[in-house]
A and B are shown apart, each in its own frame.
Chain A
Amino acid sequence: MSNLRDVYIIGVGQTPCGKYPTKAAHVLGREASWAAIKDSGIYARDIEIGFCGHVYQGMGVGQRTLKDIGLVGQPVINVEGACGSGTLSFWEAWRTIAFGQHDVALAWGVENLSKIMSGGPLPLEEDDIEVALGMSMPGLYAMRAKRYMDEYGVSKETLAKVVVKSRLHASKNPIAQFRKETTVDAVLGDPVICDPLTRSMCCPVGDASAAAVLVSGEMLNKIKRDESRLPIKVLGCVAQSGGYASATGLTCDPSENVARTSQMAYEQAGLGPEDMDAVEIHDAFAIAELIVAEALGFAKKGEGSKLIEEGTSNFDGNIAINPSGGLLSRGHPVGATGLLQTVEIVNQLRGEATGCQVPDANIGLIETMGGAQPAMDGITCVVSILGK
């Protein structure tokens, strides 16, 4: 795919993560999109196409968002890929430019979850056999955790340390939903949702939006923009639907999908895990950080816990994982998450992180994992690699 055009992110915007039950999705979306447009320095009407990622927000959210800005007439596509909806909309924006259809695109993700639920697991399709057996998203990851702990001798304390690190990072991030530091004892003392996962090992219900303006390399050279705003290059961007984990059964292991997708993204970028400085990964549950870090190649299989135990994944460690606080603490407003992760990495590479700044961050990676589906290793996985 050597004939792909260069694509750059020239502006980003985000809202704080929290509970805003009175704010409609398009209101949140408008706030983040406008911030991204202003940050890009581009004239708003130069945006040729918009992609809006969301899951539970109903009809025409993308169109309603841009209408409030005054952008009408251009194509707007609402994109759904479970928890990967935000990055799937980013992937759409990237590929429409990379393949030469458009020169300027806006990608944003939005979710107002607190309008539809106060807490508890995300609603799943009730006709699925696994939901009929009482499985939930935390249940799926809890089963993965149990097996992982049994196979590799990992303790509940290590899972708790993932949350402690996440809260530490989030405590410095003004847009994070949980900004109070915690301890291993407090995490383990929380009510158990699905053994071994306690409440704080599960991401919260929350609302937010985040957005990015993408342009082609040709356009970057043409437009008048503020030179102090560093453009960030998209080095790789791959989306893959989940597959059957194996022919003969289920393994409840979304990391297979992550490994497959990230391998393709590394190849596209001509880079490997050792080149990454800052990464935002889909830690919807504490166990996910360990298995996803392994799937991305940051640790050998079964050794993801070493990153936590040795502090390697702290923001100032060798491979900074979730300097924003991740889904566990920054928050997981489903459709917005992928763009929140992308905005964080753009800010890290620009040296403008709102929270913990990763020292000398030149290359970053975003991994989003959408959904649980009977027999499959997820619904959508998107991995993108960005560089300055």
Chain B
Amino acid sequence: MSEEKVEYAKPLPDFRPETKPFWEGTKQHKLLLPKCKETGKVFFYPRAISPFPGSVNMDFDWVESSGKGKVWTYSVHYMGPTKAYKGETYVVAMIELEDGVKMMSNVVDCDPETVTIGMDVEVVFEDATEEVTFAKFKPVQ
């Protein structure tokens, strides 16, 4: 059977200066988090200035996350934001990573209706296009 390349029809994020290292990381199947050089703390969502009170840092290291965490909250979606999701049932979740940050993502590789708050999950990478790879999460077996 020949594998035909199916074009990815769902919305794609754009890369901004603040988020580019994150997407370069996922492309290499690494989950990278920005770390404030001044306070030594990691944070998420990536941004141009340190979010920590008192810090004037505008320059960051990118450190690799363990990719392990728990479902902080979630919702099984029976209707998506665009037509490309029609007929799909999927899980959007907030993942609380061991590193101490929360990240919105999808819980995949399981029956959506078995997801629960507090469930242990780990990162998996989904190559959507040649440029974009999503960091998603699956239940820890």
Contact = CB atoms under 8 A, between A and B. Distances in A.
B79 interface: yes
B56 interface: no
A121 to B, nearest CB: 6
Interface residues of A, number: 40
A99 interface: no
Contacts of B105: 133
A129 B13 contact: yes
Given A131-B81, A134-B85, A135-B92, A143 B73 contact: yes
A170 to B, nearest CB: 24
A134 B91 CA distance: 9
Contacts of B78: 191-195
Interface stretch (A28-36, A40-48, A249-257, A335-343): A249-257
Interface residues of B, number: 41
A25 B94 CA distance: 38
A69 interface: no
A136 B80 contact: yes
A250 B94 contact: yes
Given A133-B92, A134-B92, A374-B45, A248 B101 contact: yes
A147 interface: yes
Contacts of B44: 248-250, 375
A72 interface: no
Nearest to B73: A147
A194 B112 CA distance: 12
A252 B73 contact: yes
Contacts of B77: 134, 136, 139, 142, 193-195
A133 B100 contact: no
Contact of B101 (A135, A196, A249): A249
B78 to A, nearest CB: 5
A250 B85 contact: no
Contact of B11 (A131, A138, A144, A196): A131
Given A191-B78, A194-B78, 14 more contacts: A121-B81, A132-B13, A133-B92, A133-B106, A136-B80, A146-B73, A194-B77, A194-B79, A195-B77, A248-B101, A249-B44, A250-B103, A250-B104, A252-B104
30 contacts: A120-B79, A121-B79, A123-B81, A124-B81, A129-B13, A129-B45, A129-B104, A131-B81, A132-B13, A133-B104, A134-B10, A136-B79, A139-B77, A139-B81, A143-B75, A143-B93, A146-B74, A147-B117, A150-B117, A194-B76, A194-B78, A196-B75, A247-B41, A247-B43, A248-B102, A249-B43, A249-B96, A250-B103, A250-B104, A375-B45
Interface of A: 120-121, 123-124, 126-136, 138-139, 142-147, 150, 191-197, 244, 247-252, 374-375
